[in-house]
Amino acid sequence: MRNLAVIGTGYVGLVTGVCLSEVGHHVVCIDVDEEKVKKMKSGIPPIFEPGLEELMIKNIKNGQLHFTTDYTEGLKNAEVIYITVGTPQNIDGSADLKYIKQVAKDIGLHVTHDVIVATKSTVPVGTNELVHKIIQENLKENVQIDIVSNPEFLREGFAIYDTFNNDRTVIGTSQDHAAKIMTEINQPFNVPIFITDIRSAEMIKYASNAFLATKISFINEIALICEKIGANVDDVAYGMGQDSRIGPKFLDAGIGYGGSCFPKDSIALVKMAENVNHSFKILNSVIEINKKQQMILVEKAKERFGSLKGKKCAMLGLSFKPNTDDVRESACIYISKRLIDEGAEVSAYDPIAIENAKKILDSKVKYGANMEETLQDTDFVFILTDWKEFIDFPLDKFSDLMKFPIIFDGRNCYNLEDVKQYPIEYHSIGRASIINK
């Protein structure tokens, strides 16, 4: 088993550190955020991720997992250093590499022995070469630095499961020695390993996210056509997904994709293509379709009511998808703003993301303690996230709590035949509306 350092403890860093310690490696996680490190040292994860806390506490207790803000201490024995810091967007949409560059400099300044540096952050093609250059420029000792691109494919909400059950691990390197060590470190996860060159590994990550985003925008366009021609997009997606060349996943029509990855990575890939004089037309359309799709419920509500001025809306679901408290690029940000601009009153509820939402949504948004309180006396509901709590909510309760239940479901949470049993007006995505008085 190896001594490893993980720099950055966001989703990727913390999950990576915890899972590597779980399979027996000795891991030190380094972060510049002192508050966060203090919390993690006492076993409190700064993010909500099913199963993470238990594994974290277990491995801290058995001495496999440590946290520090000190690079000297953190890198002292590391045979592999993982870089997992954020790569947010610049104003023009390209990837902002300021955290990556800072980390590369700090590795150069602190490392005193031969080491492999593996980048897990999503970085534009060529970045690992830049990381190598910055480390070399700052080295104080004559040591060997091997560079590896090791992109991360985990999904929030399934991060631990994905680490142990991923479809592939990608290792990009030109060094046989580095490929051998990285393969050995990853062996306990039992995930197929694909070794390639650094640039291809970097591109695999962006191309994968862009392709998944494309599937989502494609089915959302199909949904809009289904509504106009009287087909049911859920059945269409099911029928398409039966073809193994297409596959059933990522064909759920809805209010588009959000989160910390697809929106930023798709724009970053467009920019990367522009830098080599290629106009990435499909991906530009995917992004444009997604922006439009995020507003689809507002358009439906405006069509239904004429004006939203003075209307009371209950917004259910604030995280960008279920099983996470992450609200980064969640559709609720744009939808609530538009509702307020249209003069509507917005009450909102989410099982776990309210505190994060409060930090970014307009102060005019009011929050309910539960679904019942949020729905009380509202004119219409927007369902933005397919939380199990919403799917399981008894449909008759909508009529009990609302003046007259008008539901705009952005995630197709309910079966149309079930809805027909209740006095509910129901508008969903890519399916016929139900007007039951």
- Do β-strands 380-383 and 406-409 pair in parallel, antiparallel, or remain unpaired? parallel
- The encoded tokens of residue 368 equal 């309910």
Three-class DSSP category at 303? helix
> How many residues bind to ligand NAD according to rule CB under 6 A?
26
Q: How far apart are CA 207 and CA 199, in angstroms?
A: 12
- The encoded tokens of residue 151 equal 């992109």
Task: Based on the shown chain and the rule CB under 6 A, indicate whether residue 7 belongs to the binding site for ligand NAD.
Answer: yes
Active site residue 261: yes
Contact 387, 317 (CB under 8 A): yes
Task: Based on the shown chain and the rule CB under 6 A, indicate whether residue 84 belongs to the binding site for ligand NAD.
Answer: yes
Residue of minimal Cβ distance to ligand NAD = 10
- The encoded tokens of residue 34 equal 């002192």
Q: How far apart are CA 207 and CA 217, in angstroms?
A: 15
Task: Based on the shown chain and the rule CB under 6 A, indicate whether residue 153 belongs to the binding site for ligand UPG.
Answer: yes
Task: Based on the shown chain and the rule CB under 6 A, indicate whether residue 382 belongs to the binding site for ligand UPG.
Answer: no
What DSSP designation does 85 have? -
Contact 226, 236 (CB under 8 A): yes
Task: Compute the least distance from the CB of residue 237 to ligand UPG, in Å.
Answer: 8
Q: Which is nearer to ligand NAD, 208 or 399 (CB)?
A: 208
E strand residue ranges, 71-139:
80-83, 115-119
Angle value at C-alpha 334, between 389 and 264, nearest 5 degrees: 95
Q: Which is nearer to ligand UPG, 154 or 170 (CB)?
A: 154
Q: Which does 74 bind (CB under 5 to 8 A by kind): ligand UPG, ligand NAD, none?
A: none
CA 116 to chain CA centroid, Å, is 27
Q: Which is nearer to ligand NAD, 8 or 17 (CB)?
A: 8
Give residues 144-173 in contact with ligand NAD (rule: CB under 6 A): 152, 154, 156
Residue that has been written with the tokens 């191309």 in this structure:
207
Q: Which is nearer to ligand UPG, 265 or 379 (CB)?
A: 265
Q: Which does 380 bind (CB under 5 to 8 A by kind): ligand NAD, ligand UPG, none?
A: none
Task: Based on the shown chain and the rule CB under 6 A, indicate whether residue 120 belongs to the binding site for ligand UPG.
Answer: no
Residues for the chain: how many in total? 437
With both helix axes pointing from N to C terminus, report the angle between 198-229 and 233-241 in degrees, rounded to the nearest 10.
140
Q: How far apart are CA 49 and CA 25, in angstroms?
A: 21
Task: Based on the shown chain and the rule CB under 6 A, indicate whether residue 155 belongs to the binding site for ligand UPG.
Answer: yes
Task: Compute the least distance from the CB of residue 388 to ligand NAD, in Å.
Answer: 20
Give residues 27-56 in contact with ligand NAD (rule: CB under 6 A): 30-33, 36
Q: Which is nearer to ligand UPG, 182 or 286 (CB)?
A: 286
Q: Which is catalytic among the residues 19, 29, 226, 261?
A: 261
- Name the residues annotated as catalytic: 261
Task: List residues near ligand UPG by CB under 6 A.
Answer: 122, 152-156, 209, 212, 216, 250-252, 254, 257-259, 261-262, 265, 320-321
The site for ligand NAD (CB under 6 A) is made up of 7-13, 30-33, 36, 84-87, 99, 102-103, 121-122, 152, 154, 156, 260-261
